[in-house]
A and B are shown apart, each in its own frame.
Chain A
Amino acid sequence: MHYQKYKPAPYLAPFVECYFDWSTDGPLGAPLRIESPPTGFASMVFTYSDPYQVRVGQHTTVAPPAFLTGQATQQYELHVSGRIGMTGIVFRPAGLSTLFGLPMHEFTDQRLPLADVLGTSVTYLYEQLGECPTSSGRAALLEQFLNRQFLRRGDCFDRTDFAANLIVDKFGVLTVNELLDELYVCRRQFERQFLQKVGVSPKYYARIRRVGYVCAQLATQRWQIHDWQDFIFRAGYYDQSHFIREFTQFTGKRPTLYVKDNVELSHYL
C-alpha cells in the first residue's frame, strides 16, 4: 500500500495543505474499514481505481468518482475493497472558497460530484489523472489545475484565510476574541465571512480542529497514551469531562472505545 503526500508550491501554500495519492499495486486481500474523524480540511478527491463506499451515521453511499467535500462535522468511515487508487487536493480551511469562489457552508458534510459544482471542465482533469502512471505525475497535474485557477482569480488571500489558517496552525487552541484582537474586525461580519468561506463558525471550527489534531496525535503515538491528563491539557481542554464530551460529539465514540478500535485496526495494517 502506498500513501504519499506532496507539498504545494509556496504561492499556493496559503490555500492548499497538500496533494495526496493512495494506491495499492493489486487488489486488497480483504475489505478495509477506515475511520476518519473530522480533520478540519476540505478536499477534492479523484478515484482512478475501484469505487469505494463512505458511511456517515447510518447512511452508506458509493463515493462519486470525482467529488468535492467541505468541512466534516462528524466521523465517517471509508469501506474500501479491491484495488485502491485515489488522489486529491487537501485544502486549507478557506482555500477552496478563495480559489473557486464557493460558498462553503453549502458543502459541509457533503460529497458532491465535482462536475456538478465546477462544470464539465474537470472531466478532462479526471481523465488525465486516470491515464497518468505515477503519483508524482498526478500531483503535478493537480497543481497545474490549481495554477490555472489561481491565475484566473488572482491572489484573493484575505483576513478570513488568515484567521482560518491561524486556527489550523494553533491546533484550535485559541478563542474567537483572540482572533478578533488580531484582525480588528467586528465579530458579526467576521463570523458571517468565516461561515461563507470555511463552512462553519470560527468557534465551531476551532473545536473541529482541536479534535482532528487530537486524533492525529493519537495515531502518531499508535494510540498508546501514557499520561492522559497531560495529553488532554496540551490539546486545550479544561478537564477530562470537557475532553470526553467534545471527543464523543465529533467522533461518535468515547475516547477509550476509539483508541481500542484503532489499536485493533492497526494490527491489520
Chain B
Amino acid sequence: MQTNTQESLTDLSRQGAALAFFTAYDDLDTARMINLAAPDATVHFLPLGKDGVGTFWEFGKAVWDSLIDCFPDISNTVDSLSAEGNTVTANVSIGGTQAKEFMGIASKGFRFDSDHVFVFTFNEADQIQSLTINWDGASFAQQLGA
C-alpha cells in the first residue's frame, strides 16, 4: 500500500493540538484554549441547539469562562483521541462541582461527571477551524438536581 507519510505526520500534530486544548482546559486557561483556533473558527455546543453556535474566540471563550466560574474544580480526562483526515475526535470525561447558577440551573452544590465527544476540524495551518461538542444534556441537568 502506498501510505501518504505527509498526511500521517500532519495527523500526529493535530492530535497534539487537540491534547494541548484539553491541557489548557484542565489548567482553566481559556486564553490558551482559544489561541489554538483560527480567528474565524466556530464552535457548536450541540445540546444547546441553535443557541449553542458561535465564534470560537468570543462565544466559545464566554461559555468556557462561565463553566470555569460556575464549576471552579472542573477537570477533564482525555479517554482517547483519533484522527482521520482533517478531523480529530476526542472522547473526554468532564466533571466538576457546581458553585454558581449555570445556564438557568441553580446551584445545589452537586457534582456532574459526563462523557463528552469533541470533534475538531483543522485548517491547513493546523489551527482549529471548527469544533462540535456533544454530551448527554439531560443527564448533566439531572446530576445537578435540575
The residues of A with any CB-CB pair to B shorter than 8 Å are: 51, 61-64, 71, 73, 103, 105-106, 108-110, 112-113, 116, 188, 191-192, 195, 199-201, 203-204
The residues of B with any CB-CB pair to A shorter than 8 Å are: 1, 3, 5, 8-9, 11-12, 15-16, 19, 23, 26, 75, 77-83, 91, 93
Cβ of B4 to closest chain A Cβ, rounded Å:
10
Give the complex CA separation of A192 and B77 in angstroms: 8
CB pair B1–A63 under 8 Å, yes or no, is yes
Give the complex CA separation of A113 and B8 in angstroms: 10
Residues of chain B with a CB closer than 8 A to A106's CB = 11-12, 15-16, 81
CB pair A108–B93 under 8 Å, yes or no, is no
CB pair B82–A108 under 8 Å, yes or no, is yes
CB pair B79–A203 under 8 Å, yes or no, is yes
A selection of 23 A-B contacts at a CB cut-off of 8 Å is A61-B1, A62-B1, A73-B80, A105-B15, A105-B78, A105-B81, A106-B11, A109-B80, A110-B82, A112-B3, A112-B8, A113-B5, A188-B26, A188-B75, A192-B23, A195-B19, A195-B78, A199-B80, A200-B79, A200-B80, A201-B93, A203-B93, A204-B91
Once A108-B82, A116-B3, A203-B93 are accepted as A-B contacts, the answer to whether A191 and B77 lie under 8 Å apart by CB is yes
Give the complex CA separation of A103 and B16 in angstroms: 9
Cβ of A3 to closest chain B Cβ, rounded Å:
24
Of the candidates A61, A73, A105, the one having the most CB atoms from chain B within 10 angstroms of its own CB is A105
Residues of chain A with a CB closer than 8 A to B82's CB = 73, 108-110
Cβ of A190 to closest chain B Cβ, rounded Å:
10
CB pair B79–A201 under 8 Å, yes or no, is yes
Cβ of B87 to closest chain A Cβ, rounded Å:
13
Once A116-B5, A203-B93, A204-B91 are accepted as A-B contacts, the answer to whether A108 and B77 lie under 8 Å apart by CB is no
Give the complex CA separation of A136 and B8 in angstroms: 33
Q: Which of B3, B9, B23, B78 contacts A64 (CB 8 A)?
A: B3
Give the complex CA separation of A191 and B26 in angstroms: 12
Residues of chain B with a CB closer than 8 A to A112's CB = 3, 8
Give the complex CA separation of A109 and B15 in angstroms: 13
Residues of chain B with a CB closer than 8 A to A63's CB = 1
CB pair A113–B3 under 8 Å, yes or no, is yes
Residues of chain A with a CB closer than 8 A to B11's CB = 106, 110
Cβ of A222 to closest chain B Cβ, rounded Å:
31
Cβ of A118 to closest chain B Cβ, rounded Å:
13
Cβ of A180 to closest chain B Cβ, rounded Å:
13
Give the complex CA separation of A73 and B79 in angstroms: 10
Of the candidates B1, B78, B93, the one having the most CB atoms from chain A within 10 angstroms of its own CB is B1
Give the complex CA separation of A90 and B47 in angstroms: 41
CB pair A204–B16 under 8 Å, yes or no, is no
Other A-B pairs, 15, CB within 8 Å; known A73-B82, A109-B80, A201-B79: A51-B1, A64-B1, A105-B78, A105-B81, A106-B16, A108-B80, A113-B5, A192-B23, A195-B19, A200-B80, A201-B77, A201-B78, A201-B93, A203-B79, A204-B91
Give the complex CA separation of A150 and B75 in angstroms: 36
Residues of chain A with a CB closer than 8 A to B79's CB = 200-201, 203-204
Residues of chain A with a CB closer than 8 A to B16's CB = 103, 106
Residues of chain B with a CB closer than 8 A to A113's CB = 3, 5
Give the complex CA separation of A14 and B26 in angstroms: 31
Residues of chain B with a CB closer than 8 A to A103's CB = 16
Cβ of A183 to closest chain B Cβ, rounded Å:
16
Residues of chain B with a CB closer than 8 A to A109's CB = 80, 82
Residues of chain A with a CB closer than 8 A to B3's CB = 64, 112-113, 116
